[in-house]
Amino acid sequence: MDKETNSKQIRVKIADVEIRGAAALAPMAGCSDLPFRELCREFSASYTVTEMVSAKGFILGDRKSDELMTLGKNEHPAAIQLFGSEPQIMARAAEKALRFSPDIIDINMGCPATKIIKGMAGSSLMRDTALAGRIVKEVASAVSLPVTVKIRAGWNKDSINAVEMAKVCEQNGAAAICVHGRTKDQMYAPPVNLDVIKAVKESVSVPVIGNGDIETPEDAKRMLEYTGCDLVMVGRGALGRPWIFKIINEYLESGVLIDEPPVKERMGIMLEHIERLCRYKGEYIGMLEARKHAAWYTKSLKGASLYRRELSMVKTFDELKKISERIIEEQT
């Protein structure tokens, strides 16, 4: 499957930032790093967001933050995502993040991880819309870039308040809202609530991005048509499948359903991905991180569990290359 540039058609504008193509890459901690984001962009992802960065950690000089915030030269439009619970610290971090030249600052108000919740950040803010509003206002006042917010449907099934949260964020300066159609309590369990994404779209005037369980081009079309959202954001559906963005965009633009790439091509894309990981992070770290990605690339193959076991112990790029050659031979 050949890589291609994004569609020339402007899908939506977030303030003055033009986004072309309907499918964006979601921020995923430990997954959507620079090598993966670059690869997804080459397969027509319309927009990318960094892994979430602790505002407090960044202000205090955490060395990991710089790596998380570094954008590729061809990775625009792109957002840096911050998380935290203190409005002034979030604002200072947003100002400081400008040196990485993002197009957008995104605020995480949807992460359900216990560690983030304990710090009163992420989806914990779904329970405190007043604080959420203050955070958005401080950040939007501190930077000239558009500020967006990623939220969930609510805290739990008895507290579905995404519409209220979206309105508060818009009133305090948010230029777009991304809605993950699950509650915090659901984590990543089904179902995704398309009705709540639709309700948010109908309640605000800024662009709305729909997120949750986009695994196929049909999923993307269904969400766009049912909810009226402006973009879809693909997360776990892109892991081991960076080409999903090209498939989605082609289907939405022409109605043509492109096949998933054959095994030989898939392994070639995997090796290109892992080579970038090693180039950016060094072979030792790159190959440690490669293990999970390699497992995702082999997910749908016959005997995938055996491959995953072997890939979970791979230490060098040469080892990975030999395993991929054997996979091609066994699968074709």
- Taking the CA atoms of residue 194, residue 197, residue 198 and residue 199 in that order, the dihedral angle to the nearest 10 degrees is 120
How much is the pLDDT for 303? 87
- Taking the CA atoms of residue 264, residue 216, residue 297 and residue 329 in that order, the dihedral angle to the nearest 10 degrees is -30
Beta strands 53-54; 48-49: pairing state: unpaired
pTM, two decimal places: 0.93
Residue among 152, 167, 236 nearest 197 (CA): 152
Looking at the chain, the domain(s) classified CATH 3.20.20.70 span 10-254
How much is the pLDDT for 8? 56
Catalytic residue among 31, 111, 169, 278: 111
Query: Based on C-alpha coordinates, what's the Rg of the chain?
Result: 19
Looking at the chain, the domain(s) classified CATH 1.10.1200 span 263-331
Q: How far is CA 287 from CA 36, 63, 318, in A?
A: 14, 21, 10
Alpha carbon distance 148, 81 (integer Å): 9
How much is the pLDDT for 63? 86
The answer to whether 111 is a known catalytic residue is: yes
Alpha carbon distance 246, 258 (integer Å): 8
- Taking the CA atoms of residue 329, residue 326, residue 41 and residue 54 in that order, the dihedral angle to the nearest 10 degrees is 150
- pLDDT tens-place values along the chain, 332 residues long: 777 655 557 789 999 999 999 999 999 999 999 999 999 999 999 999 999 999 999 999 998 999 999 999 999 999 999 999 999 999 999 999 999 999 999 999 999 999 999 999 999 999 999 999 999 999 999 999 999 999 999 999 999 999 999 999 999 999 999 999 999 999 999 999 999 999 999 999 999 999 999 999 999 999 999 999 999 999 999 999 999 999 999 999 989 999 999 999 999 999 999 999 999 999 999 999 999 999 999 998 888 899 999 999 999 999 999 999 999 999 98
- Taking the CA atoms of residue 87, residue 88, residue 90 and residue 94 in that order, the dihedral angle to the nearest 10 degrees is 130
On whether the 263-331 domain is CATH 1.10.1200, my answer is yes
Domain 10-254 in CATH: superfamily? Aldolase class I (3.20.20.70)
Residue among 142, 198, 195, 205 nearest 171 (CA): 205
